[in-house]
Homo-oligomer: A and B are copies of this chain.
Amino acid sequence: MTTRTEPRPAKLTRKGEQTRMRIVTAAAQLMFDNGVAGTTMEDVKEAAQASSSQLYHYFADKQALVLAVIAYQDETVVGGQEPMLARLDSIEGLRAWCGFLVQHQRDLECRGGCPIGSLGGELAETDPKARVAVSGAFQRWESGIRGGLHAMHERGELAADPEDLALTILAALQGGLLLTQIHRDVRPLEVTLKAMIDHVAAHTAQP
């Protein structure tokens, strides 16, 4: 449906699109590394090699930029993961997904947590629009997870409600990521996801 509450300022040249993208990606990286409050417009300016005029030409204010960053992370994190999510229709698929997530955290040295969840936690109580945007991203993510489980259920391999299960898995993932970030140790994520797989497996049988 893609209902747009705040339509973009209309026309964007190719060059404009590039500049806008440079700003958003720079901001996304900075906000992932240092949080929203820890990222100033000046930081973004420098990292994106842009001027004040450019920043405020493409974004009305910092909040607008934050919303663009959320949309970007939605696309990058959730969208970029959808091919893999499509394969979550078997225990092996779940295991592979889990392994990928754990390894990714290892590569990051457990820094940053979830790009979506962190933004959500920081903004939920201060920026209603941001909260709603993050809510949408989570819905999409949950729906991706649900897809595979639903397929298993249809095939008669899964004797549990795919709806509840998908929500549980996403929650466990978020909690695991948070604990992993706080403790700087992949074990929480690893153990939690493994438990989720076992939980799914407990309701699984070959048809």
Tell which of B38, B164, B170, B181 touches A179, judged by Cβ atoms closer than 8 Å. B170
B170 touches A125 (CB 8 A): no
Contact with B along A109-135 (1 / 0, CB 8 A): 001110001101110111000010011
Q: A96 on the interface (CB 8 Å rule)?
A: no
Asked if residues B178 and A122 are in contact (CB atoms below 8 Å), the reply is no
Whether A199 is near chain B, meaning CB under 8 Å from some CB there, is yes
Give the distance to chain B from A190, nearest Cβ to Cβ, in Å: 10
A125 near B38 (CB under 8 angstroms)?
A: yes
Residues on B with C-beta less than 8 A from A120 are: 178, 181-182
How many chain A residues touch the partner (CB < 8 A)?
48
Are A188 and B167 touching (Cβ within 8 A)?
yes
One of B35, B173, B182 near A138 (C-beta < 8 A): B182
Residue A63 at the chain B interface, CB threshold 8 Å: no
Q: Are A171 and B167 in contact (CB under 8 A)?
A: no
Q: 9 pairs across A/B with beta carbons < 8 Å?
A: A34-B126, A35-B37, A113-B121, A124-B182, A131-B182, A165-B195, A172-B172, A174-B175, A199-B199
